[in-house]
Amino acid sequence: MSQMRLKIAFAGTPDIAADVLSSLIEAGHEVLVCYCQPDRKVGRGKKITVGPVKQVALDNNIPVEQPVKFDQSTNGSELTPVQQLASYNADLMIVIAYGLLLPLSVLDTPRFGCINIHASLLPRWRGAAPIQRAIESGDLQTGITIMQMDKGLDTGNMLLKRILPISSEETGSSLHDKLAILGSESIVEYIDSVNWSGENNRRSSDYDSSGECLVGERQNNELSTYAKKLSKLEALVDWSLSASEIEKKIRAFNSWPVSYTYLNKQRIRLWKAKLPSELEFANGTTPSIDTSFNKTTLKEQAGSTFGEVFVEDKKSIKVTCGDGKLIEILELQADGSKRISVSEFLNGKSHWFDSDAQFSE
């Protein structure tokens, strides 16, 4: 158990960071200041909105700093952001999903440097979108890594790891929520496990002669993978991919940026899908469904065009994929409408799907 009450600076911006901040406050740790991204204009009205971390900080009377960069003064202050951070005299900075790459001058400012809560099992999935990339790639597990930060991108020594399995129905949204809880528990566990009063400093000047950090386990760089930032463009479904690849992408991109496709120039978001295994033939041919709404017949039909849509009794939508297999859409959303089930969608828009209906890019 920690024998020293730490003075903590916190850096983070979105919901997952706000959950961690709340846990630190509830655990009785002293948070001196919160760093987060500048307020952004959101929605159709472009209204400036306070982010989740800032709101938690304001609710708990914690000072908030929102520098655009760390090498220039802000808000009319004569101090640079690094000097401002130093003025808080923090023992430790805790960072999660902050959105800015911290320079060495920041990492060296707190007495015990900076610790990052990363939503993957490092060195797997360094980078901006580890939660979604793990699902997209079909990983069977992920987790939380508590890491001593260095000047690289998620390359620091690992201090604590906690594993979380990924189910076959996991979405980016559901996994985010689970990892937010696990991250909150893990950082409190780690802080409380260290005898900080007897701890050496952890800044870059405290590394050994080979440049190695004095605490934690070194990462194997040869095993690292990069989780690139998500984009709306990549959420456009490529129906030439296999059914399995498309299904994983739909789960990974729920709830942002949300997979989408087009039907007669109408954009349709795809929130949920499944692989109807009973419709997959071992010989790789594609089953075809009679598109009349009154009857369904299954037959083998080789060489169907991917993206071809089959509607069954106003209850299901199945689409051919590049590997000759079908994927079944379960929940979708037309522009200007809410997210609904396929049966609800077809009750109002079955006329969209004629005998030659095909999803396209």
pLDDT digits (tens, 9 = 90+) for 285-320: 444 443 332 323 333 343 457 999 999 888 899 999
> What mean pLDDT do residues 136-156 have?
96
Q: Is residue 225 predicted with pLDDT exceeding 60?
A: yes
Boundary of a domain, candidates 175, 197, 227: 227
Residue at which a domain ends, from 209, 227, 245: 227
| Shared domain check, 321 and 180 | no
Q: CA 205, 210, 211: angle at the middle one, nearest 5?
A: 40
Give the model confidence (pLDDT) of 60-117 as tens digits. Answer: 999 999 998 887 655 556 788 999 999 999 999 999 999 888 999 999 999 999 999 9
Task: Give the CA angle between residues 200, 206, 207 to the nearest 5°.
Answer: 120
In the structure, what pLDDT confidence band is assigned to residue 44 with cuts at 50, 70 and 90? Answer: low
At residue 35, the pLDDT reads 97
In this structure, the answer to whether residues 122 and 185 fall within a common structural domain is: yes
Q: Which of 170, 201, 227 is the last residue of a domain?
A: 227
Q: Which carries the bigger pLDDT value, residue 285 or residue 44?
A: 44
The pLDDT value recorded for residue 207 is: 75
Q: Answer yes or no: is 358 within a domain.
A: no
Kindly indicate the confidence band of residue 28, based on its pLDDT and cuts at 50, 70 and 90.
Answer: very high
The pLDDT value given to residue 361: 76
CATH of the domain at 246: 3.10.25.10
pLDDT at 204 over 50: yes
Q: What mean pLDDT value characterizes the chain?
A: 88
Residue 351, number of CB atoms within 10 A of its CB = 7
| Domain identity same for 254 and 203 | no
360: in domain: no
Q: Which two tokens stand for residue 154?
A: 């998620």
279: confidence class by pLDDT, cuts 50, 70, 90: very low
Residue 339 and residue 303 in one domain:
yes
Is residue 2 a part of any domain in this protein?
Answer: no
Residue at 317 is within a domain: yes
One domain for residues 73 and 95: yes
Do 262 and 326 share a domain, yes or no? Answer: yes
Q: Which residue has the higher pLDDT, 360 or 254?
A: 254
Task: Say whether both 212 and 293 belong to one domain.
Answer: no
- Do residues 241 and 220 both lie within one domain? no
Judge if 218 and 238 occupy the same domain.
Answer: no
Domain with residue 148: its CATH number is 3.40.50.170
What residues make up the domain containing 245? Answer: 233-352
Residue reference for tokens 């051919």: 320
Q: Are residues 91 and 184 in the same domain?
A: yes
Do 223 and 238 share a domain, yes or no? no
Q: 74 with 144, same domain?
A: yes
pLDDT tier at 277, thresholds 50, 70, 90 = low
Task: Answer whether residue 295 is part of any domain.
Answer: yes
Report the domain count for the chain: 2
Which one has a higher pLDDT value, 119 or 2?
119
Checking if the pLDDT of 226 tops 90, the result is yes
Q: What's this model's pTM, rounded to 2 decimal places? A: 0.88
Q: How confident is the model at residue 43 (pLDDT cuts 50, 70, 90)?
A: low
Q: 176 vs 45, which has greater pLDDT? A: 176
For residue 58, give both structure tokens: 């304001």
Tell me how far apart the alpha carbons of residues 8 and 35 are, in angstroms, rounded to a whole number: 11
